[in-house]
Amino acid sequence: MTLYIPDDIVAEIKHTADIVDIVSESVRLKKTGRNYVGLCPFHSEKTPSFTVSADKQIFHCFGCGEGGDVFRFVMKHQGLDFTEAVVTLARRYGVRLPSEGNRSPKDKTMSERQQLRSVNSLAMDFFKSHLREGPGSEKAARYLAGRGISSDVIEEFHLGYAPAGWDNLAGFLAKKGVPLGFAEKAGLVVKKNSGTGYYDRFRDRIIFPIMDISNRVIGFGGRVLDDSLPKYLNSPETPLYHKGRSLYGLSVTKNICRQSGEVFITEGYMDFLALYGSGIKNVVATLGTALTVGHVRALKGFVEKAILVFDSDEAGMKAARRSIDVFNSEKGLSLFILVLPKGHDPDSYVREKGTSAFKELAATAQEPVFFLLESAIRNYGLSVDGKIKTVSEVAEYLAAVEDSVARSLYVKEVAERLGIEERAMLEKVRLAAARQSQQARRRPGGVFEVGGEDNGPDDDVDEVARAYSIEYRMELQIIAMMLHVPEMICEIEEKNVLDFFTNDFLKSIGNIIVTHRAGLENRSADIVELVDNDAGKRIITALFVGDELSNWTEEGCRNLINRFMTSRARRSDNLTQMIKAAEENHDDRLLDELLKAKGAIARQNRMMSAKSSSEL
Ligand SMILES: [Zn+2]
């Protein structure tokens, strides 16, 4: 942490921020009972297992195990560190952060990501001002006007112009005291091949700043004003900018997307701006890259339906087919494909035919299966041979459709369209499904491989999985009890219950709870902060939101403790033998542990017999 933020400010933000609000900005939540559920933004799923508790102000996903408080969510979701998450939430809720002057000198250094952001924002201002005035600005403005982009849209999306010449931006940044090596890291300048120094990456191009979901500039796209190549040039991957995750325009259109429940996905910013400018505002663009799982995941939080808009040329058709595969691997969004008439892109179509014509056309967008069917028929024709090829292509797709009702409806329609027997089509689908599942079995890694670049270390997954196995169930229940019924912590402590835990990990969590129990009665969710590892945080959040674990009666609590202690005492039958062995081996540490356990068992047995005699 490089920027010092006092604890009381962190606490203030935590108490002001509402996790349901924050999560709702990117995940569509539905209320069920005490909690809210939605599709997890951190793993692929079709049925919601991502749970948010308003009472506890935490989230937990029963699918992938991710969980934590509002800071954790913002960090994980926006790829920020803790300080950045605090700053983001502070801004959002109007909590005042200490000003520059109040920080100690060593805290004045910003994190690299913060520095990259401020360099980007300097560059954005530079490009914007050069669209307003200076050499080439008139030409650039004329170009944008010629493409029908209004001054409002230019303003809203911070469009700019990178003047011709090799070192305009480099010179500007150097004057502002930005080391050019750092500007290179931001992707703004490029090191010269020969000699020393740097030159501007973007020259004589219209500039489209690329924003993150919080509308902070993370990269740039540049388009030439004539026919020179490359037509489009984007920032390289930087610590801030990942093209596989960034969607152009989403920071501006996210609320409109959410309201309409559907989004148009175009292939570039010019198409985006054309649709947006014509009043079709539920739109985003991928940035010179095919649609990725990361894109789909980002959209899942805002819409139920995505309409991919493609040109009808070869490249467009290929991109459409690839996108269908991506959607198949990432569930939770229904996909439609809109192919524009020959010779049109969204920009030309909407400008020539108008907004309502585009909307009418959009209503004819096809489900993937029918898109594949029609494009196969176009390719192969309706001869016997053509039909055979078409059937096998479409069968591949249908085999991957999980919903059996949908699948059988598709089979019926496809068979009808091709004039073949439904049974024959079904048989093809079955064969394709068998082959696919065989391939899936052969693939290493299995389910954890699917879009798993952010799944974190396997240890965490193991830890969560182990915690749910039968053997640890009881210990887990005791931890849950300590969280839900803090009054029982005294008894846990008196009986040294934690000493008998076989899972050291749960034991350490238990000890943290015992140490911090004073605060637990008021804000139990604060305990999440005190556990310093992610696996522990996840277990705790899981226990907090787990409904089946939260109906505690006093009697139930006592029963649990006694059941646990007796099972452990029974296990200690061979304790004496083990102690003897440890003595012979001079294993002092083990001996010490065993003697402690023996003492605890003896105390426990005394207590239990005292209890049972008093009950008589
Ligand atoms: Zn998840």
DSSP, residue by residue, 496-550: TGGGG-S-HHHHHHHHHHHHTHHHHTT-GGGHHHH--SHHHHHHHHHHHH-GGG-
Give 28 Cα–ligand 1 centroid separation in angstroms.
14
Task: Find tokens 């954890």 and name the residue.
Answer: 448
* Non-local CB neighbours of 572 within 8 Å, separated by 6+ positions: 597, 598, 601
Higher-confidence position of 335 and 575: 335
Q: Beta strand pairing status for 67-69 and 283-285?
A: unpaired
Q: What percent of the chain has pLDDT over 90?
A: 36
**Least confident piece of the model among 134-143, 373-382, 518-527, 553-562:** 518-527
Give pLDDT, residue 100.
Answer: 47
Q: Is the pLDDT of residue 530 over 80?
A: no
d(CA 331, CA 45): 5
DSSP labels for 148-216? T--HHHHHHTT-EEE-SSSSHHHHHHHHTT--HHHHHHTTSEEE-SSSS-EEES--SEEEEEEE-TTS-
Give 459 Cα–ligand 1 centroid separation in angstroms.
16
Give 300 Cα–ligand 1 centroid separation in angstroms.
13
Give 71 Cα–ligand 1 centroid separation in angstroms.
17
Give 374 Cα–ligand 1 centroid separation in angstroms.
36
Amino acid at 252: V
pTM of the predicted model as reported, rounded to 2 decimal places: 0.64
Higher-confidence position of 396 and 122: 122
Give 331 Cα–ligand 1 centroid separation in angstroms.
12
Higher-confidence position of 515 and 569: 515
Q: What is the pLDDT of residues 434-444, one digit of tens each?
A: 888 777 665 44
**Least confident piece of the model among 150-159, 302-311, 496-505:** 496-505
Average pLDDT of the segment spanning 546-569: 71
Give pLDDT, residue 449.
Answer: 27
Give pLDDT, residue 3.
Answer: 62
Q: Is the pLDDT of residue 130 over 80?
A: yes
Q: How confident is the model at residue 311 (pLDDT cuts 50, 70, 90)?
A: confident
592: exposed, middle or buried (Cβ count in 10 Å: 0-12, 13-18, 19+): exposed
Give pLDDT, residue 399.
Answer: 87
Residue among 146, 252, 247 nearest 206 (CA): 146
**Least confident piece of the model among 237-246, 394-403, 422-431, 559-568:** 559-568
Average pLDDT of the segment spanning 240-253: 90
Q: Is the pLDDT of residue 600 over 90?
A: no
Give 458 Cα–ligand 1 centroid separation in angstroms.
15
Higher-confidence position of 110 and 542: 542
Average pLDDT of the segment spanning 306-319: 87
Give 542 Cα–ligand 1 centroid separation in angstroms.
12
Give 550 Cα–ligand 1 centroid separation in angstroms.
22
Give 62 Cα–ligand 1 centroid separation in angstroms.
7
Q: What is the pLDDT of residues 11-25, one digit of tens each?
A: 888 878 889 989 998
| 335 beta partners | 306
Q: Is the pLDDT of residue 357 over 60?
A: yes
| 206 beta partners | 161, 223
Q: What is the dihedral of CA 289, 295, 296, 299, to 10 degrees?
A: -130
Give pLDDT, residue 572.
Answer: 57
Give 38 Cα–ligand 1 centroid separation in angstroms.
10
Phi, psi of 449 (to 5 degrees): -75, -25
Give the best-scoring range by mean pLDDT among 18-27, 434-443, 491-500, 568-577.
Answer: 18-27
Give 41 Cα–ligand 1 centroid separation in angstroms.
7
Give 22 Cα–ligand 1 centroid separation in angstroms.
17
Higher-confidence position of 128 and 31: 128
Give 45 Cα–ligand 1 centroid separation in angstroms.
8
155 contacts 125 by C-beta, under 8 angstroms: no
d(CA 216, CA 328): 31
Q: What is the dihedral of CA 166, 169, 172, 174, to 10 degrees?
A: -80
Give pLDDT, residue 450.
Answer: 29
Give 400 Cα–ligand 1 centroid separation in angstroms.
22
Average pLDDT of the segment spanning 453-468: 40
Give 561 Cα–ligand 1 centroid separation in angstroms.
32
Give 17 Cα–ligand 1 centroid separation in angstroms.
22
Q: How confident is the model at residue 45 (pLDDT cuts 50, 70, 90)?
A: confident
Give 44 Cα–ligand 1 centroid separation in angstroms.
7
Average pLDDT of the segment spanning 254-276: 91
Give 245 Cα–ligand 1 centroid separation in angstroms.
17
Give 49 Cα–ligand 1 centroid separation in angstroms.
7
d(CA 37, CA 35): 7
Give pLDDT, residue 208.
Answer: 97
Higher-confidence position of 328 and 255: 255
Give 531 Cα–ligand 1 centroid separation in angstroms.
20
Give 325 Cα–ligand 1 centroid separation in angstroms.
21
Give pLDDT, residue 107.
Answer: 42
Give 504 Cα–ligand 1 centroid separation in angstroms.
26
On average, the pLDDT of the chain sits at 82
340 contacts 346 by C-beta, under 8 angstroms: yes
Give pLDDT, residue 584.
Answer: 79
Give pLDDT, residue 578.
Answer: 65
Whole-number Cα distances in Å, 399 to 30, 332, 392, 394, 428:
31, 18, 10, 9, 9
Q: Is the pLDDT of residue 255 over 60?
A: yes
Q: Is the pLDDT of residue 101 over 50?
A: no
Give 48 Cα–ligand 1 centroid separation in angstroms.
9
| 281 beta partners | none
Strand, helix or coil at 308?
strand
Give 117 Cα–ligand 1 centroid separation in angstroms.
29
Give 133 Cα–ligand 1 centroid separation in angstroms.
49
Q: How confident is the model at residue 206 (pLDDT cuts 50, 70, 90)?
A: very high
| 220 beta partners | 209
